[in-house]
Structure 1
Amino acid sequence: MKNYEESAARMALFVEKTNKSQAEIARHASLNSATLSRIASGKQVLGKTVISALSAAFDVNSEWLLTGKGEMGTAELRPLDLVASARIIDPDAREAEDRRLKEPELPYATYKESRTDYNVSNQVSRDKPNMWLVPIKAQAGFAKRFDDPVFRGQMQRVAFPMVMGECFGFEVEGKSMQPKYDPYSWVVCTLIDDYTWLRKGKNYVFQTYEGIYIKQFDQIEDNIIRMVSINPEYNPVEGLPLSETRKLYAIEGKYVKE
């Protein structure tokens, strides 16, 4: 119960400093207002998914939200052009932005995986940029520096209304997940709180300290995540120690070129 009470106390401080209602905060962060209400009333602990959404929309320290350590931050809304990565304000990053603008636009997603019980709502992020796009060339940096606001400011973010709240688009590298996911296609993912959500035979994105892996989950054995490739030519797959797995993402859908 202590963790619930501490989460409620930090949520109360955060809400007060934003000078906004819980409903307004939920709308800006693309969260369910009922979720924030449960946290504020001590009925739900602050999970990583909520923390990630809040820290993306507001200037708030994710470590403070999680543990209470460090400074809270200003709790002010992040500028839309920074959050959406429409432009890079830092003039030293202008060259990187010019390269990004020359890249082709991604087609809209026309195929969806089955919905998951930890992401049950949809159609709520109609115009707000809520999907971070992570191309192959940026995945190593993403794995190490996504929590850095400057790095996030250099990423492209687009609106994806079929998923509630924050989501991620990862570009597929290699042929190990064919025929379901072709090289250079994109998968749309949502962050899940921990490995207890993993289901045998389902496909996930695993983030380590070194990079991104798109694989099918098999089992957890001796604190090792066992995975397989859909393409049998790429099996067996070396397991991932739980201690080296930073984040887990459920694949909600993929982009299909029309």
Structure 2
Amino acid sequence: MKSTIHDRISEIVEHFGNGKNTVIASKLGVSEGNIRGYVKNVMPKHDFLEKIVRCFDIDSTWLLTGIGTMLKEDSNSIQTTKESTPSELPATSDDASADTPGTAHAPEAVAVSISQKEKQTMKPIPLVTETAAAGFGNCDFAIAEQDVKDYYVIPKFRYSRVDFMIEISGLSMHPHFNPGDIIACTILTDRKFLQWNKCHVIATREQGILVKRLMPSKQKNCLTAISDNKDYPPFDIPLDEITGIALVVGSVSLE
């Protein structure tokens, strides 16, 4: 049976900590409860995976996929194949020029030169289900492995903090986003970091996940949600209806 990432973390605990979560927690600077959760069913965050790779010189491909061996080999002897690495996709950055309403968001082929060492330490980003993403506003938000569709290593995002990616459905943000496009999201912990007229992912109590531009509302204690598709009129969302907001920091556009 194929091992899970929880099994592989458990194997690391056994190998480097003599089976003791406290030993690994001390070396990584995290709580024993974190390690216990990751061994059971809590999906580890990217910074934790990076710590494991760097602290114990773990092969990142093995950690993420189970392919290969736990310990890194000499980088000169590694033959990287498409099957042995997390998916790699070209990406477009969600910059100011791309954020102009009504402007087509064309795919951009980005050639990025990266070393083998950089590739091994780049942050893998989980593509999650909409159901999983809906919980990102909770203080104890954690992505369970069964909610991860895939992991992607996207070179252009290597200097960005991307918490998760989701797939666009519907036409309300056309032509900026189309159904099937994938957007990269950074969770905002404070509403003062909202960027007006930028695309955000909004988790709501009644309407689920929304992808809209946000603007101040004329109504008290509300935000105005705006679609790029003019067939979808703007509407107000009460602040107490919102459970979480994430900024869209980039996207992968598909033909």
Please, what TM-score do these two structures have when normalized by structure 1? 0.51
Which of the two has higher C-alpha Rg?
2
Match of 1:175 in 2: 171
Q: Within 1, Cα distance between the matches of 2:249 and 2:166?
A: 11
Label 1:83 to 1:226 Cα distance change in 2 as closer, same or farther (>3 A): farther
> 1:173 aligns to what SS in structure 2?
coil
Query: What displacement does 1:196 show?
Result: 0.9
Label 1:251 to 1:168 Cα distance change in 2 as closer, same or farther (>3 A): same
Match of 1:12 in 2: none
Query: What displacement does 1:209 show?
Result: 4.0
> 1:109 aligns to what SS in structure 2?
coil
For residues 69-91 of structure 1, give each alpha carbon's deviation from its aligned partner in whole angstroms, at most 9, with x where no partner exists.
Answer: xxxxxxxxxxx79984x47xxxx
Q: Within 2, Cα distance between the matches of 1:107 and 1:54?
A: 19
Label 1:246 to 1:152 Cα distance change in 2 as closer, same or farther (>3 A): farther
Label 1:252 to 1:166 Cα distance change in 2 as closer, same or farther (>3 A): closer
Contact 2:89 2:152 (8 Å CA) reproduced? no
Query: What displacement does 1:126 show?
Result: 4.0
Label 1:242 to 1:126 Cα distance change in 2 as closer, same or farther (>3 A): farther
Match of 1:113 in 2: 94
Query: What displacement does 1:213 show?
Result: 0.8
Contact 1:204 1:215 (8 Å CA) reproduced? yes
Q: Within 2, Cα distance between the matches of 1:199 and 1:214?
A: 14
> 1:232 aligns to what SS in structure 2?
coil
> 1:234 aligns to what SS in structure 2?
coil
> 1:201 aligns to what SS in structure 2?
coil
Q: Within 2, Cα distance between the matches of 1:83 and 1:177?
A: 36
Q: List alignment gaps of at least 5 residues for structure 2.
A: 1-21, 31-43, 52-59, 67-85, 97-113
The one of 240, 249, 257 equivalent to 2:254 is 257
> 1:20 aligns to what SS in structure 2?
helix
Match of 1:132 in 2: 126
Query: What displacement does 1:106 show?
Result: 7.2
Q: How many residues align?
A: 170
Match of 2:221 in 1: 223
Q: List alignment gaps of at least 5 residues for structure 1.
A: 1-14, 26-50, 59-79, 88-104, 116-122
Identity %: 20
Match of 2:27 in 1: 20
Q: Within 1, Cα distance between the matches of 2:209 and 2:62?
A: 24
Tell me how large the CA RMSD over aligned residues is: 4.2
Structure 1 residues 21-170: aligned runs within 5 Å: 84=64, 86=65, 108-114=89-95, 126-127=119-120, 128-134=122-128, 138-144=129-135, 147=141, 151-155=144-148, 156-163=150-157, 164-170=160-166
Contact 1:132 1:168 (8 Å CA) reproduced? yes
